[in-house]
Structure formats: structure tokens, C-alpha cells
Amino acid sequence: MTTAPTILITGCSSGIGYSCAHGLAARGWRVIASARRAADVARLQGEGLDAVQLDLDDPASIRSGLDAALALTGGRLDALFNNGAYGQPGAVEDLTREVLRAQLETNLLGWHDLTRRVIPLMRAEGHGRIVQNSSVLGLIALPYRGAYVASKFALEGLTDTLRLELAGSGIHVSLIEPGPILSRFRDNAHAVYRRTIDAEHSVHRATYRRMEARLTTEGPAQPFTLPPEAVLKKLVHALESPRPRPRYYVTFPTHLMGTLRRLLNTRALDWALARISRGGRG
């Protein structure tokens, strides 16, 4: 009997991680779903998934969460899908050092820590798949998203370097770059914005009021929004294809931005992105 391939997925409490965990389990994968809060872990277990607690901000939690996952798989891990992240809104001049550091801890450094721990396991097996869930904002920048853009630009560079270094090892590395996806991302972004940005004393307060209206809109707030299953489709190819792609675009905005970045010079791209930002997209 063929042993089911194993995968650890971060950020499975909702949205993309949740959808991909259930979708891969339905395809026969041995999925270890992880989440930061114990209540979410219990809920995922109640839905029939193997689940462990793993907080990307805490190196000790990363270590214990991975150990718990490996205890479930017998020490084997065929794939890792790094997904757990959040978006920190705010003008660059309103981001304190502590706020920017927190964004990088979750969206970049936690992923790096976990990935470094997984690579030796995959080397020992002679194969593996590492898939990083980036963003259209890993390709282009938009105003008032500087912290998130910084985390995704850095992730893209680190992942490209890792892919080059692992060439010939049997470990394949891919990036998925979604645009707008139905999830709790806006709700979480609004909550962290309220905690970290002093909007009333900022020169950007008028823009922040418009941004708050977008963040609190019910349902899709942007054109071309897709359900999280659109990411699952790309993830399946990255995990199961004998020739996984280095990059997977998801949603029309990502395809459009990728094209604009290739065709336009910096000044023309800035003009286009400013118009898009004023339209409330991104």
C-alpha cells in the first residue's frame, strides 16, 4: 500500500490555509494543519484534520509545533506550505520600528525558521516541496502597505535564493502569488491597524478614513476577488507536478501587475499604481 504524502501547512485557522488543508486531505495527503491559537487547533481536529499549535512569532513554538507534526508522521515530511501571515496597514512614516519588526517576524522570519528546520528532513529523504504563499504585493508596491510589501519583497528574494541553492537536491521550491482572495485578511488587517497606527494624529488621516471604509466592507471589496480554492489549484500543481513552476500567479490582478512590471519603466509603473490605489484596489 502506498504511503500518503505528508505536508505541514501554517496559518490554517481560516482562508487559504483552511481551504488548502481540507482540499489536500480530500486528495489523499496526510495533512498536518497548524494554527496559532489552541482553540483553532481543537476546531481543526474536530473537523477530522491532524493539527498542531504553532506560533510563527515564537521560535520555541515553531520547534515544538514541528516536533508534534513529525510525531504524527513518523518523522517524515514531504512538503511544507508556508502560509500564516497578516497585513500591517499604514503609511511608511507612521510605522514604528516595533511595528515593522512584528510584521517581519510573522511574515518572514518565522517562515525562515520553520523552513530551515524542515530542509534537513527533506535532504535525508532525497526529495521535498517547499511552497511559499507570497502576494501580488511581492511583485509591486502600493501606498499604505509598506510593511506587508517589505515582508513579501524580502520573502520573494529569499525564496529565489533558496531555490537556486537547492537545485539538484530533489527539493523543489515554489512561490504562489495571489491577488484578492476571500478570507479574513481584511478583518485581521483592520484589527492590527487599530492597535498600531495613530491615525488621528497623522498627516494621512483623510486617507486612513477611506482605507478603514474599505477594510470594513462586507464581502469582496475589490474586483476579480476569487475564493481560496483558486490557491488550492496552484498548490496542487506545485506539490504534485514532476516539474513544479518557480512561480504561480493567482487572480487577474496578479497577472496584470506582473505584465505591467515587465513592460513599464518605473515612472510609468508608479503612475499606474497610483491610479489603481486611488481606485481602492490592491
Catalytic residue numbers read: 148
Q: How far apart are CA 174 and CA 235, in angstroms?
A: 9
How distant is the alpha carbon of residue 79 from its chain centre? 15
Q: Are 58 and 86 in contact (CB under 8 A)?
A: no
> Exposed, middle or buried, 218 (CB in 10 Å: 0-12/13-18/19+)?
exposed
DSSP one-letter code for 226: B
Q: How many other C-beta atoms can be found within 10 angstroms of the C-beta atom of residue 163?
A: 18
> Exposed, middle or buried, 4 (CB in 10 Å: 0-12/13-18/19+)?
middle
Q: How far apart are CA 277 and CA 250, in angstroms?
A: 19
